[in-house]
Structure 1
Amino acid sequence: MWCELVLFVAVAVSRGAGLDVLEPRLVHIEQGPVRGYQDPSTGAPLPPPKWIEPIGEDKHIVCPQIYSALLMGKDMREDCLFANVYVPETKKNNLPVIVYVHGGGFQIGYGDMFLPTMFMKRHRKFICVTFNYRLGVLGFLCLGTKGTPGNAGMKDQVCLLRWVKQNIACFGGNPDDVTIASPSAGSMSVELLMLSKTTEGLFNKVIAESGASTGPIAVQIDPLDVAKWFAISLGFDSDDVNSDIYDLEKFLKSLPVDKLYNVTNAIINTNSTLGFVPCVERKTGFDVFMDKQPADIIKHCGYRRVPMLYGFCNMEGLLDIGMFPLWKSKMNEKFSDFLPADLKFSNDDEKEEVAKCIKYDYFGDKNISETTILQYTDYFTDIQIAYPMLRSAKLLQKNGHKEIYFYEYSYFDDATPVVPYTNVRGANHCAQTLTVLDYRQLTNPLANLPDEYKRIRDVCQEMWCNFILTGKPVPEGSSLPAWPPMQGDRSPHMSLGIEVQLKDKLLENRSRIWDNIYSNFCRAPEAPPAPPRRKCRRIPKRCCRVNP
C-alpha cells in the first residue's frame, strides 16, 4: 500500500460501557451502513459488517509492524486502515468528539491499543474515535520522489480526520467540535497535525501527552540517509547507495512486507532517533503534509492556534531504563554518541567539548553507574520528551499561542515500581494517559485501588473531560484548583501528583542547559534533496526499405 491516501474501508461501533441493552445500532454514513453492538462487560467494539460483504473482527486488524507482544491474536495486513467509533448511551446529539492517535514510536501499535471505555463510562458526554495508520517504512519512508514523497502515515491520520468531519454527525457527534489527543508518538503526531495546513477546520482542541514535534524522535533529521542504510541492511548494494534515488525506491518497493519488517528501527538509537518517523517533505505537486521543520512553522505563525492541554511525566526517561546495563559503559566511554541527533557541531573537538559539559551538568564528576541511575533517568527524560515539550511550549507561547495549559504528572504509589538500585518511585512515560483511561481498573476490574490513585484519576479525568467540552481543564465555577494558561517562560504549570497544585516554572535549571545548547548547535531536519531528472531513453531511427 504505497499510495499516499487510502479510504477507510470499515468502521467498528460501540455504544459505550456498562449499558443495559444489547440491540444493535445501525448508522448510515457516506460510504454505506455500519452496525455497532454493545458489550456489557468492557464496552469494547464488536465486529460490524463491511459496506457490502461482512468482514472479520476489525478490532483485531493491525498495520504491518515489527513483532511485539502487542500483536498477540492480531491480524497484521496491509489493508489495515480501520477506525472504531465509541458512542455513549445518551439521547443527546451533537456531542463533542475526541480522536485518539495511538502511540508506539511510529513503529508499532494500533487504534485500540488502549481502550477509552473506562474514561467514557464515567463521563458519557463525548464520542471517541480510535484508528490505525501505517507504521515504520510503509508509513514514513521519505525519498522526495513523486512515488514516495513521505509521511504516508501522517496522511492516513489526516484522512481519518476528514472522515470524521464528513461522517461523525451520523453517530450523534459534532463535526465542528473535535479534540485530537494522544500519548508518546501520538502526542508528537497531534502537534504535527496542528502545524499542518492540510488539517484546517478538522479539529479545534489538542491534548498532547508526553511528546513534542520539535524533538529528535518526532522528525527525521536526514530521511534519505535513513532510507539508504535501511536498504543496505536488507541487501541493497552499498556500492550503489549513492546512485540514482529511483534504484533505491525500486529496490525497497520490490521487497515483500514481511521482509521489510524483519529489520527493526523501533529500538531507540543512542542519539534518540527511531528511524522511520515523520519528515519534512519536498513539494512534489501532491498534498504535502509538512514542507518546513516544526520550529520554523511555529516561528512564522503558519498554523492555527487552538487550545492545548500539554505536558509530560516527571520520569519519562524510565522508558530507557532497560538499556541501562548496555548503555552505562558506552556513555562513560563516549558520551557524545548519546547527544540528541538534532544537534550539529563544526568539528569533532567541539562536539566532544559540548558533550563533556553536558555530562558534567547531569552527573558531575561521577561515572554513569548504579549510583547515578536517577541522573541517567533525568537525562533521557529531558532529551527525548521533557525538553522538546518545554521548547515547543516556549516557541508556541512566544509566537502568540495564548491557550496552552501546561502540566507535569508525577503521581506514584506502592504499586509503582521503584527505579532500579534505588527506593525512588516516579511517573513513567505516558503514565498520565494510563490514569486518564483508568488502565489499572480496565485491566483488573476486581483490583482494590488505593484511595490516592482514585483521587488523582478522578481529578485527571475531570480535567481532561472539561477540556474536551470547553477547551479549559478548569472552567470557571469548578471546585478544582484554578489553572490559567501559560503566561510566559513556561509558567505556570499544574503539578499532578499526590497533591494537585499550580506551580511556577517547570524544570527551570535543566531547561536553561538545553536552551543554551539549542541556541548554538541546533540542527534543522532536512527534506530529501531533489532527485535527478530521469534520463529519457532515445529510440534510434530506423530506415525501412519498402519493396515496390
Structure 2
Amino acid sequence: MLWRCSVLAIAACFSVNIVSSSEFKCDVRVRIESGWVCGLRRRGEYNTEYASFRGIPYGQQPLGELRFKELQPVKPWPNYLDATEEGPICPQTDGLYGALVAPTQGMSESCIHANVHVPYAALPVVKSTDEDKDYDNIGNKKGVPILVFIHGGGFQVGSGDADLHGPEYLVSKGIIVITFNYRINVFGFLSLNTPKIPGNMGLRDQVTLLRWVQRNARAFGGDPSDVTLAGQSAGATCAHLLSLSNVTKGLFKRVLLMSGSAMPAYYTVSPIYAKQSATRFLTILGINSSDPDFIHDRLVKTPLEDILNANSVYQYEGGIVSFVPVREDKQLGLERIVDDDPITLMEQGRGKEYPMIVGFSSNECEFFKRRLLYIDILGRIKANPLVILRPEISFSTLSDVALSLANKVIDWYFQGELNMEDYLEVCRDTLFMYPAFKVVEWRARMHDAAPVYLYQFAYEADFSAVKVGLNLQYNGTAHVEDLTNIFRGNAILDDGQTFPPVSRDDSMKDWMTQFVIDFMHCNKPSCSEPGWYPVQADHLNYENIQEPTVHDNVLPNEYQQHTIKFFDMIEQIARNSSLDTSITTG
C-alpha cells in the first residue's frame, strides 16, 4: 500500500487542533503541562468504556530547519486541544502491513503525536474546567501502571494508530496504554555522523516521549514510577536499545520484547553501513557534495515528495530494512543513545536491572514472504552470498571469512538450489529465533540480574488477522500474530466484543493480555499460578504458547538445539576474525 503522493497536498495542513469549549462537547478532559486536552469516551471490552486521548503532540513538529533536529518542547496552547482523533502518520511508503493498517488522517511530517488510553475509573477528578484553576490530580491515589509501546515496521514504516494497535484488550484490564509516532526511515535514522544530522532521531523521539510520560502521567491517572516499555519487531529493537542506554535511567521499570531485540540481526549499528547508506541516498537524491553543512541545508529545503521518492528507491535496494540505528561517536558532543555495540553492552550487564520478557513466533518470516519475493531475495543471495548473514558480520569480519561463513549457512539450509521455503527458515532462525535465545542466555548468565522470560508463540488462530490482512496462507504462526493477541486489530476486526471470552481465539487473547498485565504488576508473566518459569542459562527453557490456558514450559527441541549450536559456531568464527570497526566510545 502506497501512502505518498495522494496525501502530500494536504500534508502541510496538519497542525495542533485547538478549539474553544463552546465549539464542541468535550467527553473527557485532562490538563497536562501544555494545556487542556479533550478526548472521547470509547467502548472497550467487558462492555466498559475507556477514555481515549489521541493525537497529542509530545514535541514540536520537526518541520523546516527542525527536520533532523532533536524535538523541541511543545509550546502551551490556549483553550482545548482536540484529542478525539489520531494525528497523521509519519512519511513512509508501506511495503509490509497491507490491509492490517488503515490510517485515517493522512501523512505528514507533523506526525509527532502520542495516543493515551485510560481506564475510565483511573482518570483524575477535574474540579474545574476553568484553565486558570487547578484540578484534583489524583489525591493520594497511587495511579495505575502504564504500558508504553513502540510500533514496529523495520524502522521504515508504521505508526501507533489504533488500526493495528487497538488498546481495547489491555485498557479494559486496568492499565494505561500509550502508543505514539516517531520519525522513521530517512527522517528518523539517516546519519551523516555530524552534529546537524547525527542519526538515531527516531530513538531520540522515543526518549522524548518517555520523558513526556514522566511529566504528564499523573494528569491521566497514571503512575510515572511504574512504566513498562514494550515493542514489537523494530519497536522491540528500539525498546531493547533504550534499556541498554544510560540516557533512559529512571524512565521505565521493565521491558517486553516481541519478535525483536537489540542484537544486530536484521540491522547493523556499524557506522560504515550508516555512511554507505547516507552516500547512496544522497546520490539518489542528486546531492553529490561532501560539505556537511551544504548537505544539511539541501536536505531541509528539499520537498517532502522528493525525499520520499528517494527513500522509496533506497528502501527497495535495502530489502527489509534500510536506515537503521547507528553506534554514535562521542566526539559529536551529543547525548548518545547507542554508545557501544549492543552485544558488548549486554555482555557487560547493561540493562540487567530490568525484568524482561522476550518472544518470537514459530514461523516468523511467512509475514515477509511477499516482500521477499518482491525484492528477489534469492537472486540477491546468488549475486552476493553475504546477504544471507546477519548484516553486522559483513561489516565487522574479514571479507574472505565472511564469505566462507555465508557459504556454510547456505550449505546448512539448502539442499542444492536456493528456494523460498528453506530461506524462510533461514530468515526466522537468523533474524528472530537465534537472537532471542542468545539475549536470554546472556541475561540469565549475568550475576544479580533481574529475571528474564522467553516464549515461542505457536498458536494457530481460527481467524488470523495477519492472514486476512495480507491475504496469505501458511502453517505455523507468523510475525505480528502475537501482537494481534495483545492489541486489537481494528482495521480487520468488526465491532464485536472479545471479553468475556467465548471462542478459542478470545481465550488466547485473554491469556496473552493477562501475561502482560501480570508482568506489569509483579515482574513475571504469571503472578499466581506456576508454569512459566524464568530462563535458566544452562537449559534455555521457554514457554511454548500453543493453546490458551495451557502452560508448556519446555527445553529447546532438537532442531532448535542444533540451530543454536550451528550459529554459535558461526558467531565464534566471525568474532575471531573481526575487523577493528570501532569508533570513539569512551
- The TM tier, using the shorter chain, reads 0.7 to 0.9
In 2, the alpha carbon distance for the partners of 1:253 and 1:295 equals 34
Q: 1:314-371 CA deviation, whole Å, 9 max, x = no partner?
A: 11111331124733455456544332211148665544432222112112x33233xx
In 1, the alpha carbon distance for the partners of 2:282 and 2:144 equals 47
Closer, same or farther: CA 177–296 of 1 in aligned 2, 3 Å: same
In 2, the alpha carbon distance for the partners of 1:346 and 1:32 equals 53
Shift of 1:463: 1.1
Q: Which residue identity lines up with residue 406 of structure 1 in the other structure? A: L
Which structure's CA Rg is the greater one? 1
Closer, same or farther: CA 442–467 of 1 in aligned 2, 3 Å: farther
Closer, same or farther: CA 524–122 of 1 in aligned 2, 3 Å: farther
Closer, same or farther: CA 216–272 of 1 in aligned 2, 3 Å: farther
Shift of 1:439: 3.0
- 1:408 is aligned to 456
Mapping 1:46-445, distance limit 5 Å: 51-52=77-78, 59-66=86-93, 70=101, 72-90=103-121, 93-113=142-162, 114-120=164-170, 122-123=172-173, 125-221=174-270, 222-237=273-288, 243-264=290-311, 274-283=321-330, 284-322=332-370, 323-324=372-373, 326-331=376-381, 335-344=385-394, 349-363=400-414, 365-369=415-419, 373-400=420-447, 401-416=449-464, 417=467, 425-439=475-489, 443-445=493-495
Closer, same or farther: CA 440–54 of 1 in aligned 2, 3 Å: closer
Shift of 1:388: 2.2
Closer, same or farther: CA 494–524 of 1 in aligned 2, 3 Å: farther
User: Larger deviation: 27-36 or 205-214?
Assistant: 27-36
Give the match's secondary structure for 1:105: coil
- 1:16 is aligned to none
Give the match's secondary structure for 1:264: helix
Give the match's secondary structure for 1:87: strand
* Residues 192, 198 of structure 2: 8 Å contact kept: yes
* Residues 434, 440 of structure 1: 8 Å contact kept: no
Give the match's secondary structure for 1:51: coil
Closer, same or farther: CA 270–472 of 1 in aligned 2, 3 Å: farther
Give the match's secondary structure for 1:109: coil
Shift of 1:266: 8.8
In 1, the alpha carbon distance for the partners of 2:489 and 2:379 equals 36
In 2, the alpha carbon distance for the partners of 1:435 and 1:23 equals 32
Q: Which residue identity lines up with residue 382 of structure 1 in the other structure? A: D
Shift of 1:103: 1.2
In 2, the alpha carbon distance for the partners of 1:460 and 1:26 equals 31
* Residues 54, 87 of structure 2: 8 Å contact kept: no
TM-score for both structures, normalised by structure 2: 0.76
* Residues 25, 36 of structure 1: 8 Å contact kept: yes
Q: 1:467-509 CA deviation, whole Å, 9 max, x = no partner?
A: 112111012x32xx52121110462100001354100136221
Q: Which residue identity lines up with residue 211 of structure 1 in the other structure? A: G
TM-score for both structures, normalised by structure 1: 0.81
- Find the partner of 2:513 among 461, 475, 479: 461
* Residues 59, 84 of structure 1: 8 Å contact kept: yes
How many residue pairs match? The answer is 499
- 1:34 is aligned to 37
Q: Which residue identity lines up with residue 359 of structure 1 in the other structure? A: I
Q: 1:79-133 CA deviation, whole Å, 9 max, x = no partner?
A: 321111111022575101111111111111222253343213541x211111111
Give the match's secondary structure for 1:80: coil
Shift of 1:134: 0.9
- 2:572 is aligned to 519
Q: Which residue identity lines up with residue 428 of structure 1 in the other structure? A: A
Closer, same or farther: CA 223–267 of 1 in aligned 2, 3 Å: closer
* Residues 269, 392 of structure 2: 8 Å contact kept: no
In 2, the alpha carbon distance for the partners of 1:487 and 1:435 equals 27
Give the match's secondary structure for 2:86: helix
* Residues 267, 392 of structure 2: 8 Å contact kept: no
In 2, the alpha carbon distance for the partners of 1:514 and 1:78 equals 41
In 1, the alpha carbon distance for the partners of 2:309 and 2:452 equals 41
Shift of 1:149: 1.7
In 1, the alpha carbon distance for the partners of 2:250 and 2:384 equals 48
Give the match's secondary structure for 1:34: strand
- 1:536 is aligned to none
User: Larger deviation: 504-513 or 56-65?
Assistant: 56-65
- 1:3 is aligned to none
* Residues 11, 48 of structure 1: 8 Å contact kept: no
Shift of 1:444: 2.1
Closer, same or farther: CA 356–467 of 1 in aligned 2, 3 Å: same
Give the match's secondary structure for 2:227: strand
- 1:542 is aligned to none
In 1, the alpha carbon distance for the partners of 2:81 and 2:497 equals 36
- 1:538 is aligned to none
Closer, same or farther: CA 381–524 of 1 in aligned 2, 3 Å: farther
* Residues 272, 340 of structure 1: 8 Å contact kept: no
Shift of 1:54: 5.7
Closer, same or farther: CA 394–273 of 1 in aligned 2, 3 Å: farther
Query: Identity over the aligned pairs, expressed in percent?
Result: 25
In 2, the alpha carbon distance for the partners of 1:285 and 1:333 equals 41
User: Larger deviation: 92-101 or 174-183?
Assistant: 92-101
Q: 1:419-475 CA deviation, whole Å, 9 max, x = no partner?
A: x9x995111112111112243797223499983323322221111111112111012
Q: Which residue identity lines up with residue 156 of structure 1 in the other structure? A: D
Shift of 1:164: 0.8
Q: 1:346-401 CA deviation, whole Å, 9 max, x = no partner?
A: 665544432222112112x33233xxx44222111122222222222222223333
Q: Which residue identity lines up with residue 325 of structure 2 in the other structure? A: P
Shift of 1:300: 2.1
Q: Which residue identity lines up with residue 93 of structure 2 in the other structure? A: I
- Segments of 5+ residues of structure 2 without an aligned counterpart are 1-14, 19-24, 57-75, 123-140
Give the match's secondary structure for 1:52: coil
In 2, the alpha carbon distance for the partners of 1:376 and 1:47 equals 40
